[in-house]
Amino acid sequence: MFNGNWYNMTKQQVMIYGAGGFAREVAWLAEACSDANTTYEVVCFIDDNEAKHGQILNDIPVTGLVAAAQQFPQAQLIAAIGAPAVRQTLMAKVADLGVPFATLMHPRVERSKWLEIGAGTVICAGSILTTNIVLGNHVQINLDCTIGHDVILADYATLAPGVHISGCVQLGERVYVGTGAVIINGTQDTPLVIGHDAVIGAGACVTRDVAPHTTVVGVPARPLPR
């Protein structure tokens, strides 16, 4: 029904770096973010594999980064690359081209106003973020995650679906938390700290600090033997 406001709507083009399953999910997320003020249009997937260029995924073309930046100079870009270190390398390439980053949060996310979100961050449907939470740049929070009070997720931290983080926890840069993992709470004076580049295995229960570059698994979570 015509409501008289169509001419005030902004159309925002979005490019998605990645052409896998999560990229298709992020495309759905972007379209779901459209509201009465802004319509999000996913114009392309980006893949470095030239053999995929020209393919169509869910009615969206696949192309290369430089070609996409030239064809869609007004578009913003969001990463749909699960591996944190790879995502960081690719986003540095994007920044060098001067392409701006989108930040997407599904409308079915519950959150307080006490939330800081960095550029390029993705928050998927069904997640709950409570209060006094800081998310760095290019953080990924997948489906149905919960994040408690006073939590910090540094740049490129990544949560797979169904991760639950209690209050007073800090995740370092490029930390990856597998599906269904649980991280118990720290305290205001002594937060529980997951070091840079640590990996938390799927279904793990983290009850203590995790050193940088360490992979932990199990209940309670223990480091894998080296």
148-207 residue pLDDT tens = 999 999 999 999 999 999 999 999 999 999 999 999 999 999 999 999 999 999 999 999
Percentages of the chain per state (helix, strand, coil), in multiples of 5: 15, 30, 50
pLDDT value of position 8: 54
- Rounded Cα distance between 95 and 121, Å, is 15
Q: Give me 84's structure tokens.
A: 């944190």
The catalytic residue among 53, 149, 164, 213 is: 149
Active site residue 149: yes
Are 58 and 108 part of one and the same domain? no
Are 165 and 182 part of one and the same domain? yes
Q: Which domain holds residue 190?
A: 104-216
pLDDT tens-digit readout, 50-83 = 999 999 999 999 999 999 999 999 999 999 999 9
pLDDT value of position 6: 46
Are 122 and 141 part of one and the same domain? yes
Are 78 and 111 part of one and the same domain? no
Chain centroid to Cα 219, Å, comes to 26
The model's pTM is 0.92
Residue list, annotated binding site for substrate: 82
Are 112 and 91 part of one and the same domain? no
Q: Which of 78, 96, 114 is the last residue of a domain?
A: 96
Within-domain flag for 64: yes
Tell me the longest C-alpha to C-alpha distance in the chain. Answer: 64
Q: Which of 80, 96, 112 is the last residue of a domain?
A: 96
Within-domain flag for 3: no
Q: Which of 74, 96, 118 is the last residue of a domain?
A: 96
